[in-house]
Each structure stands twice: as structure tokens, then as C-alpha cells.
Structure 1
């Protein structure tokens, strides 16, 4: 009796909304013929067309919004702001249960991490892409998008919230995910770890219970600082390597001086992320240039260029200057430092 009454009560309620935001990418790409899976144009097919024939999770209805339709290699802070604004707006709606974002794979890991860091959503936000265009003879986008809808409606994901990525039946969390192959359908990995879950035949199999998201106390102010900034602090990403003599750092410092003096229209250099060799070790000549940069007000973070693992705290070849170390991979560390500096400017922790 109780179970029937509860079921009837739920059925009487209006369906919750699953919003699908379109950003373009290969999943929305088209080529001249079905055999071409390389020479296509990304960001052509509208997101509403991608949803044709797909069924939302039980008790939900779909809404679609085209935020952009671009090749993700061309993502910019302005496009990220537009996506963040749309996502934040929909997450304020009490009837919205989850978001799905169709996105190109080239910078998907950056966008996923940015959404995670800024929005810290209590409801699931799922990013999905494809490695073959919509015009391919065997496109992977439709199944990937179907899996994303399944994940967005999953009870565990609904409880945990957070930002997730799914491709080829695998689910990754935003912090760990990275693109590891230029062409395979299963092009994403998670560094030392594997997927957080699998989507199999319309159900999600979690390998571990994900922790529920706990937003930052100043979350709303942090979001607004990101959305309203005319310019995000300029952070560049460089690598240590054989022959790294610091010339690139010195060139960036010259640009910084020119920008501060009003002689360069670009934003002045504010931070540097350095992908060190091995355990974050840096070429001796590069260390000297980075020390000069730090002395001139540039924030320096060091990570490793290795595809797996994190820098273990210690000397690491940095005896002349103990630069700050981050456990994020370079692409995400660059965004993290830009956000850190932006929130610092806004007097937010």
C-alpha cells in the first residue's frame, strides 16, 4: 500500500527537467562523406538535432539550449563564461535535475575541470563528446549522448552531484579525466586511476560511491567574479626540457613589462605553470629565469609533464627556489592558477 501510494504521488508531480547545453565539437560535426572521420567540420549540427530519437530518463523531460557551436580547440575565456553563465542559470532552477553538455573532446577536460572548480554543483553536470562526426558511417556520438542522459538521471549521480565526463561507456570525474589518444573511440583516461563508473545497457555501474559535492562558502561570489571579469588573469604553460634556457620566460616578461606600461594591448603575464620533467624537476637555467619572474610579481606553479602520477614534495631540482607545486596536470593547473589569481584579486579565498 505505501509503495503504491508513493508511486502515485511521484506520478502526479510534473517531470523534472534535464537541460542539454550544446557547445559543438565532433559530436556535432559533419564531413562530405560518411567514410571521412578526420576531414570534417566540427560544430555544425544543432544540439536539438543531436537529441532526436533519444529518450530522457524516467520522470524527466528534455530541454535544449545552443550556447555555442565551435571546434573545442578554439575555446576562449568568453566562451567558457557563456557556458558557465548558462549552466549557473539553469542550476538555480529548482525543477532542473541535471545538465548534459555536448562538447568537443580536444579541450573537454579543461571545461570539465573549470565547471567543477567554479560551479561545484550539487546536481550532476555531465559532459559528453564523440571521436567520430555525426555524419560518419558509424558515429559514436548518439550512444555517448544516450549514456550521458542515463548518467544524468542515475540515482547515485543525483545524490552526489558534481561534474562528470562520459565517452565509450566509461565515466570519469572532472578532476581526473584527460584525453589520452587522438583518435580512438575510448580516447579518455584518468591518469593513475581508471573510470569511476561504466554505463552498460541503460544503467550505471559505479566502481565506488562518489562523495557528495560540498560547495565553497563563497561559491556565489566566486561564480560572479568569474562571470563578470573583463579579463581572466593571463597564465601561460611552459615545459622544462633539454635545452630549456629560460628564453621563453624572458620573452614573456618583456611582454608583461610592455602590457603594464600600456605598450601592449594584451593582458600582462600574471602566472606561469611549468610542466617539469619527472618529479617536477626543472632545468637549472630555467630555474633562474623563473626566479626572476617570481621576483617581478609572476606566480609560478610547478607540475609534472608525466601522463601519470603527481609531484612528490621535495627538492626536485628546485634548490635555488622552492616554487609552489600543484598536483593537477598542466592544462588544468593553468586554469586553476588563473582562477586563484582572479579570486585573489576579488578578495575571495
Structure 2
């Protein structure tokens, strides 16, 4: 591990995922085991990274489908630690693709980093005939060294996406991520960054208080995610309310609904959500549409997600329910 006392140090934190996956057959891009290759070995496999002022640390080694609060705590703590070091220019996180957008939004919401925090990944395992991980990792390290960039971004397949807008939109192709209506922030082309949008101003959050609130929480407050659809009913919601009534401390404190269209709800589901609201459960509407957002209007019964996707809205609502969250 290199520790160069300069302002150009970039720290790479590994959490596992497909980028660190191995399969018995190099032609198999599906039947692999995620999180098999250490982050140090991933860096060694990218020759252009040799000689740079890099440090690495293995925070976790999991398939990102299993991501949860325990790993998020460790990751947030280590990111905050390294960003506080004067010599660190930025942090790169290798991550699985399945929940990358949620981890990116978690870190952005909790830490509001004033330096670049760059999430990267791969859709093919490290053992593939043509892995996409090495190029993504190289591009991410380049972006982490960008002067003036702050906040959490995701870098994959040559594109740079903001934490607020990035979503996984394809189950298999290497171009698996998209930023919806907002579009990508920029791209990495042969080692050079081309920005499509002005760099956003740093977002100030109560990072110390928020990190403490997360680190001291035994679990995130329970927020369920349900979907409105044709022939929907309210049984799932009513079931959650019934469970709440059986528990000393009700588990479900919020519900995010992936609505049809512009936040519309099946009448039967809406009725059940009204009951949940009357019982003190917070209800937030997002849209299940791949593009667009819920545009609020006078008379809305439930709050909208302010443009967040259903999974990010679920996370934001859960964090907002933590004690001492500011």
C-alpha cells in the first residue's frame, strides 16, 4: 500500500461485487461468484494505475444484492476518514451494480462530500474474456482526481452520473447505467474528462451529525416499498399495519409507493394507504416510470419523492426517520 504525502493521493475502497467476481469459465459472464478478487489485485491488473499515488483498503467483500446497514456504516466511516485527510484528493469505491445507486445516494445524503467520491463497478466478472472492470476502475481513478468536483458520482462504461440521478437500467449489458432526463454529467475519453454539464456546487449537509446518527443506529427505520399496478389491492399495506399492531415497537414507519404515471394510485391501494397515514405511517409517492418525476399539485394527499426513484426515496425516508437526523 502506497502512502504518498501529497495532495494527489487517491484512496480505493473495495466492497466486492461483479468487478471482483470469478467464474470457472472465462466465457461465462453470468455464472460467477461476486466478491472473489481483492481490491489490491484489481488495481494491479490495470497497468496505467501503476506509479500513481494510490492507497487501497478492503472494506467488504460481498455481492451487492446483500448490501445493508452494517456495510454502509463501515463504508461511510472509512470514506469520511479518508476525505478528512489533507493529502487525499478523492475516494474511489468498487461496488456491485445491483445496489450501486442506493449506496451512492446513501453516501451523498449522509456525508455530502466536499471532494470526489467515485463509485465504479463492472457487468462482467474479472475472469471474463473481455472484462469491463479494469477500464471502469481506471476511469474512476481519473475522475477522483478532478479538481473542483465534489459529491458522489458513478463512473461506468465511460459515463459519469450523479448520485441523485443514476439508475441501473439493464440487467446484462455493460452500458447498464443511465441518468434519465438529467443525462450523464460527462464522459471519460482516453483519460480525459469531457463535462456535458457545469460542475454542481458543493452541497452542504450536517455530515458529522448525520454520520453519528447512522453509526449509532442499530437498524434503519423500517420503510416498505410497494408498487401500484392494474388490479392492485391494499392487502400488503393492511398486512404491514396488522404486523405493526402486533409489535411493541412498530417496524413499518413509512411506505414509499412506486406509482403509475404522475403519482397515480389504484383506488383500493390508495384506501389502504389512507389507513396507514391515519395510523402515523408516512407515505411518499414516487413513479415507477423510467423517466420523469411526480409533479405535485394542489390537493395531493401524500408527499412526492422530489424526483427521487422509488429505491432512493425509500432510503431518504428511512434516514429522515432516524433519531437526531438533521
TM range (shorter): over 0.9
Q: For residues 169 and 312 of structure 2, what CA distance do their matches in structure 1 show?
A: 15
Equivalent of 1:226 in 183, 199, 214: 214
1:169 aligned to 2:158? yes
How far 1:145 moved relative to its partner?
A: 0.4
Matches within 5 A, 1:1-349: 14=6, 16-52=8-44, 53-56=46-49, 61-155=53-147, 159-216=148-205, 218-260=206-248, 268-314=251-297, 322-326=301-305, 327-342=307-322, 345-346=323-324, 348-349=325-326
Q: For residues 177 and 105 of structure 1, what CA distance do their matches in structure 2 show?
A: 11
Deviations 1:105-131 (A, max 9, x none): 000011111111111001000000000
How far 1:233 moved relative to its partner?
A: 0.4
Deviations 1:28-56 (A, max 9, x none): 00000100000000010000000004444
Higher gyration radius (CA): 1
- Could you say what secondary structure the match of 1:163 adopts? strand
How far 1:154 moved relative to its partner?
A: 2.0
User: Under a length normalisation based on structure 2, what TM-score does the superposition of the two structures give?
Assistant: 0.94
Q: For residues 57 and 257 of structure 2, what CA distance do their matches in structure 1 show?
A: 37
Q: For residues 32 and 56 of structure 1, what CA distance do their matches in structure 2 show?
A: 27
Q: Could you list the runs of 5+ residues in structure 2 that have no partner in the other structure?
A: none
Q: For residues 229 and 283 of structure 1, what CA distance do their matches in structure 2 show?
A: 35
- Could you say what secondary structure the match of 1:105 adopts? coil
How far 1:259 moved relative to its partner?
A: 2.2
Q: For residues 63 and 8 of structure 2, what CA distance do their matches in structure 1 show?
A: 31
How far 1:260 moved relative to its partner?
A: 2.3
Instruction: Label 1:204 to 1:293 Cα distance change in 2 as closer, same or farther (>3 A).
Output: same
C-alpha RMSD of the superposition: 1.7
How far 1:295 moved relative to its partner?
A: 1.1
Instruction: Label 1:285 to 1:14 Cα distance change in 2 as closer, same or farther (>3 A).
Output: closer
How far 1:149 moved relative to its partner?
A: 0.7
How far 1:57 moved relative to its partner?
A: 9.5
